Amino acid sequence: MKSLSAFFALGFAASLTGAAFAPGSAAGVKAGPPEAPKNVRASDGTYSDRIHITWDPVSSASEYHVWRGTRYDGTDRINIASVGEPAYPDPEPAPASIYYYWIKAKNAEGTSAWSVVDFGYRNLSAPGSLSASDGTYTNRVQVAWSAVEGAEAYEVYRNTSSNAASATLLGAPAGTQYSDASATPGRAFYYWVKARSELTGGLVCTGAVSKVDSGWRAMEAPQNLSPSQGTFANMIRVSWSGVLGATGYEVWRNTNAAVGLAYKVADTTLTNCDDEGAMPGIVFHYWARAKSTKGPGPFSAPASGYCVSHTNPVPAVPGGVTASDGTYPDRVRVEWTAVYGASSYEVWRNVLDFLDKAEWVADVVGTRFEDFATADRVFYYYWIRAKNSAGVSGYSDSDSGYRISGPGPRPPVAASNVVNDYDGDRASELTFYGASDGSWNAMSASNAVTLDGVAWGGAEMTPAPGDYDGDRVSDLAAYHEASGTWYVRTAGGAVLFWGLSWGAPGYVPVRGDYDGDGRADFALYNSDQGQWCILSANGSLIAWLASFGGPGLNAVPGDYDGDGLFDLAVFDPALDNWYAMALDGRMIVWGLNWGNPGCVPVPGDYDGDGAADLAVYNTLAGYWYIRSVYGAGIAWEVNWGGSLFRPVCGDFDADGYADLAVYGEIGGAGCWYIKSLDGNIIAWNLPFGVPGSTVVGLAE
């Protein structure tokens, strides 16, 4: 029998011992009931499908009664089996729970006293369906497995070989996923998982190890690619920053900025190479990518270089870029002003007004480009670069254009995720508003301060920033609900509106461009009455007492149908239902259930299609759930945050996609965690907070 000292300490030792005496037999004395069985042993986690009980045989016994309970004093014990042999496999107990066993022997003369009690428990099963991501993420290996009955936590192990015995414990999460951020990129690792649970008396039950699965973390693209420009007469020297986990690098080259047509010019283990095959007088475009035993990683951003010092200067940035707006049925015509010294021009294009995601489409000798590779009624944005043998200019300002093949409306303008952009770089900033003094503080995710204690507002005023003058830069706006007045100024200090009367008590501001003129409107929503009132920044009435919503329904601003106009949209936190209607009366969403208890809405365009998506954040567990209005799954149970954090709306890396951003105050200090849906970490534990201030853009 195992030691019960952990339980004797509770003062109940006496109750664990049954009678051990049986009268002997003598000549002429009738034999009595058998003795109580001795050495009762219940297995301690030996099996995951049962508890196995054994005891010493009693010579005069014809059968044995097995009793089980969940209390050491036997007050709840029940007879679970009668057997003829001194052993019994009990398959009924739940895993990782203590059970107590007693045995009685029986013969024709009667039944013995109780045996001494012994406890046992059934072990946890090995986790199944183990999977480790294979190059899916650049910042981690994501390990997942199926839940095990009775498990309170899971131990995750890792090794560089498939030997589980020498594996290292990484962590013990309570859920069925683990993010291994310590894995070296480009290298295979092997993972195992065990279920674990704590039992009564301080015992720990650890289950069998799972089957092994291997995974690896993808490498980053090389940064700081720098080809020489005229430094050497007979070669171009290309250098870049090293990539963690790389065993070597490839260098690719082309005479234009299309990587699909490039060819490899070097394999090296260094972070530089000399391209001696480059011809003088030609501008070459280069890319680098790291490689490992798992193959090559992504290409770097392109950079250009050339041989021989040139007397001609690098051309200036082109100006006067225009793209036709529905003029032609089969093409978009793009034109620009000629640049002195330019020998040709590069044309770049994107369906969103974001240069970071633009693609090269052509090299042109003149100052006109006919773009036939376009879809009907779709906005395209164009940028132009001038180049010659000395190099390539910077990018021009963008202009948008589209083609229309027949009668019909103009194409919709893609909705914008850019809120709190006070420097015009198309990236949202971390922004705070002082409710007591009306001070504004803002900082980019890269630590650049854009607003430093700028006073605009005051007590009882609500921040309502937006681009009210159409210059693609957010303006500071404060709304005074009691008087229904607005005060708006630019980030540079120019006053746009002072004491504009539009509002009343009970109406709260809702951001958005509801008429598609590229300017934020003065939009208000009254949840008690479910009414909207919207005034354009140019003074035109857009909506007056429009009914959509009601008590308990909160406004969730966004362009849910992608037509370039914000819609009337509300969320019911009691039922997790969404409702959205266009201003022309078209119903977009009605009673669509998306959320669960503890969720708050965080609307935004997470897939870059120009339409707002239905996104919720679970404030209890830190999970994100995102889908499009039309049912396409975008994210399911993505863990980013926790109970101490709240989500914040915005596109913090200027790529045209809404990001996962959370803010929390730990130990009195504010900190931010931001990442894109493709796994790129934008901010990790970034300290920025103003105690007592309101986080502008916080989802509630």
CATH code of 319-401, in short, is 2.60.40.10
E strand or H helix that includes residue 227: strand 226-227
What confidence score (pLDDT) does residue 10 get?
33
**Cα–chain-centroid distance for residue 469?**
33
336 against 426, higher pLDDT = 336
pLDDT, tens digit, 9 for 90 and up, residues 22-75: 444 444 445 789 999 999 999 998 999 999 999 999 989 999 999 999 999 999
* pLDDT at residue 603 tops 50: yes
pLDDT, tens digit, 9 for 90 and up, residues 116-131: 999 999 999 999 999 9
The whole-chain average pLDDT of the chain stands at 88
Question: What are the CA-CA distances from residue 218 to residues 141, 142, 210, 270 (Å)?
Answer: 8, 11, 24, 20
The side-by-side arrangement of strands in the sheet containing 87-90 is: 41-42, 51-54, 87-90
What gap in Å lies between CA 457 and CA 475, rounded to an integer? Answer: 13
113: confidence class by pLDDT, cuts 50, 70, 90 = very high
pLDDT, tens digit, 9 for 90 and up, residues 638-668: 999 988 899 999 999 888 789 999 998 887 7
pLDDT, tens digit, 9 for 90 and up, residues 501-537: 999 999 999 999 998 877 899 999 999 999 999 999 8
What confidence score (pLDDT) does residue 17 get?
38
Q: Find, among 293, 132, 318, the residue nearest to 211 by Cα.
A: 132
What confidence score (pLDDT) does residue 390 get?
83
The CATH superfamily label for domain 38-122 reads: Immunoglobulins (2.60.40.10)
For 388-407, what is the mean pLDDT?
Answer: 89
Vertex 12, ends 8 and 17: CA angle to 5°? 90
Q: Find, among 639, 631, 678, 636, the residue nearest to 659 by Cα.
A: 678
Name the least confident of 9-23, 255-269, 362-376. 9-23
The CATH superfamily label for domain 128-217 reads: Immunoglobulins (2.60.40.10)
- C-alpha count within 13 angstroms, C-beta hemisphere, residue 600: 18
Contact 206, 196 (CB under 8 A): yes
Q: Percentage of residues in the chain with pLDDT exceeding 70?
A: 93
Contact 218, 297 (CB under 8 A): yes
E strand or H helix that includes residue 6: helix 5-8
pLDDT, tens digit, 9 for 90 and up, residues 68-100: 999 999 999 999 999 999 999 999 999 999 999
* Comma-separated ranges of CATH 2.60.40.10 domains in the chain: 38-122, 128-217, 223-307, 319-401
* pLDDT at residue 379 tops 50: yes
Contact 247, 262 (CB under 8 A): no
Burial letters 155-189, b for 16+ CB under 10 A, else e: bbbbbeeeebeebeebeebeebebbbeebebbbbb
Q: Would you call 424 exposed, middle or buried from its count of C-beta atoms within 10 A (0-12, 13-18, 19+)? A: middle
Q: Which listed CATH number (3.30.300.30, 3.30.2320.50, 3.40.50.300, 2.130.10.10) goes with 430-695?
A: 2.130.10.10
What confidence score (pLDDT) does residue 406 get?
81
What confidence score (pLDDT) does residue 26 get?
41
pLDDT, tens digit, 9 for 90 and up, residues 243-260: 999 999 999 999 888 888
Burial letters 514-525, b for 16+ CB under 10 A, else e: bbebebbbbbbb
DSSP secondary structure, 633-687, as one string:
EEEEEEE---TTEEEB---SSSSSS--EEEEEEETTEEEEEEE-TTS-EEEEEEE
In sequence order, the β-bridge partners of residue 615 are 626
What gap in Å lies between CA 610 and CA 96, rounded to an integer? Answer: 51
pLDDT, tens digit, 9 for 90 and up, residues 150-188: 999 999 999 999 999 999 999 999 999 999 999 999 999
Q: Percentage of residues in the chain with pLDDT exceeding 90?
A: 66
Contact 319, 335 (CB under 8 A): no
Whole-angstrom Cα Rg for the chain = 35
For 547-557, what is the mean pLDDT?
Answer: 92
* pLDDT at residue 615 tops 90: yes
E strand or H helix that includes residue 350: strand 344-350
In the three-class reduction of DSSP (H, G, I as helix; E, B as strand; rest coil), residue 262 is classed as: coil
Question: What are the CA-CA distances from residue 444 to residues 420, 650, 653 (Å)?
Answer: 10, 12, 9
* pLDDT at residue 14 tops 60: no
What confidence score (pLDDT) does residue 2 get?
57
pLDDT, tens digit, 9 for 90 and up, residues 321-360: 999 988 999 999 999 999 888 889 999 999 877 787 789 9
260 against 224, higher pLDDT = 224
What gap in Å lies between CA 346 and CA 259, rounded to an integer? Answer: 14
For 290-310, what is the mean pLDDT?
Answer: 85
554: confidence class by pLDDT, cuts 50, 70, 90 = very high
Model pTM? 0.50
Contact 339, 315 (CB under 8 A): yes
What confidence score (pLDDT) does residue 660 get?
95
In the three-class reduction of DSSP (H, G, I as helix; E, B as strand; rest coil), residue 5 is classed as: helix
For 210-235, what is the mean pLDDT?
Answer: 91
What gap in Å lies between CA 279 and CA 687, rounded to an integer? Answer: 49
For 449-453, what is the mean pLDDT?
Answer: 90
353 against 443, higher pLDDT = 443
CATH code of 223-307, in short, is 2.60.40.10
Q: Are strands 99-107 and 87-90 parallel, antiparallel or unpaired?
A: unpaired
Residue 221: other Cβ atoms inside 10 A: 18
Question: What are the CA-CA distances from residue 700 to residues 554, 563, 602, 626 (Å)?
Answer: 9, 26, 8, 16
E strand or H helix that includes residue 51: strand 51-54
What confidence score (pLDDT) does residue 19 get?
36
What confidence score (pLDDT) does residue 18 get?
39
In sequence order, the β-bridge partners of residue 401 are 380
What gap in Å lies between CA 480 and CA 684, rounded to an integer? Answer: 35
Contact 397, 445 (CB under 8 A): no
* Comma-separated ranges of CATH 2.130.10.10 domains in the chain: 430-695
For 361-390, what is the mean pLDDT?
Answer: 92
